[in-house]
Amino acid sequence: MNRRHCATAAITLVCALALLTSTGQASAAPVPEPSPSSSSAAPADPSQRYSNADLEKVREQIETLYRQAGAATDAYNLAEEQTKKQSGEIVKLAKAIVDGQARIAALKDRAGAQAREQYRNGGLPPGAQLALSNDPKLFLDGINKVRQGQQASKSLLTELNQTQQDLETYTQDASANWEKLEANRVKQAKAKKKINAQIKAAEKLESRLEKKERDRLRQLEQDAANRAQTAWLSSGAVKDVSGEASEAGAAAVAFATAQIGKPYVWGAEGPGSYDCSGLTSRAWLAAKRPIPRTSQEQWRLLPRIDIQDMRPGDLIIYHADASHVGMYVGDGAIVHSPRPGRNVTLAGAGSMKILGVVRPDK
């Protein structure tokens, strides 16, 4: 496949995905209008525009938008990792193609040298020259030379054919990797567009609130997290959890907790900011245990364990789509990077819906 065909295919794919994105783009639900003062959920302070019930609806909308942005962030991060991998493969293949071309040129030079040598001997092949020899000693020496020459010629042809086959394979692989690279770039662009749209929609919802209402909204978020954590602890889920961190787990926890206070930025891997899986992957890299970059890949590829068996350093994966991750630090708590507008912080491990637990150093 030539470069122009690859580019045309990639452009076609970009246009198709852009059309799908434009027709399926999620939009934020409108902020509910302030409740009438006669409502049972009306605020105690008549100067407040929104009741707690109104703000609770806003909170749920914002949470949904940020969760969708988190899932899109995972898609972006995975596509970015795949793009880096494909770029590296293309560089390796390009070098192999250059080396192969140089090897073929050298082999052709050797073949040319053999042809010139034959020309200098009167154009007769070694077998014919041997048949014309009347000297028995020269005849025996000639037999060995003929055999050596035949083996060298056979080896030269075999090596030339193999190098040409390898070069064709490298070229085909390079074309395939180029197509994958372009496809991953399209995925990145699509995910980035969705992330920005979801975050802007959430920020727009929150921007319509006055400062006191935003403070109340933040308190509602904390209250919802506290209720979920209390229910989780009351269920006895961590009653028998008493595992101690491994050496690597302790190092990962130390790194992660040292990042507390740094802001969430989607796609960030530090050192100044992190998204959720950027924090956990960097923490385990600091513990000299590289793990997958995204929460979904961490859930898919790392060994899973029961909650009762977890220990500090293990990763808790959240939501049905594995779109969020935090690191368990003990005593029913995690350190995580929550979402845009928030900083790396400690939180209750049960404050969100748990999908499962994985252990990077099992």
- Radius of gyration of the chain measured on its C-alpha atoms: 33
Contact 174, 90 (CB under 8 A): yes
> How far is it between the farthest Cα atoms of the chain?
126
- Ordered DSSP codes for 195-247: HHHHHHHHHHHHHTS-HHHHHHHHHHHHHHHHHHHHHHHHTTTTTT--PPPPH
276 catalytic per annotation: yes
Kindly name the residue from 5, 15, 319, 336 that is annotated as catalytic.
Answer: 336
Q: Catalytic site residue 324? A: yes
Q: Which residues pair with 325 in a beta bridge?
A: 317
Give the list of residues 6+ apart from residue 278 with CB closer than 8 angstroms, or none.
Answer: 77, 267, 268, 269, 270, 293, 337
Token output for 217? 């909204």
CA 85/CA 257 separation, integer angstroms: 30
Q: Write b or e for each residue in 20-43: b if 16 or more Cβ atoms lie within 10 A of its Cβ, otherwise e.
A: eeeeeeeebeebeeebeeeeeebb
Q: What residue type is assigned to position 122 of the chain? A: G
Burial of 329 (0-12, 13-18, 19+ CB in 10 A): buried
In whole angstroms, what is the distance from residue 360 CA to residue 328 CA? Answer: 12
Polymer length of the chain:
362
**319 is an active site residue:** no
CB 267 within 8 A of CB 278: yes
- Catalytic residue IDs: 276, 324, 336
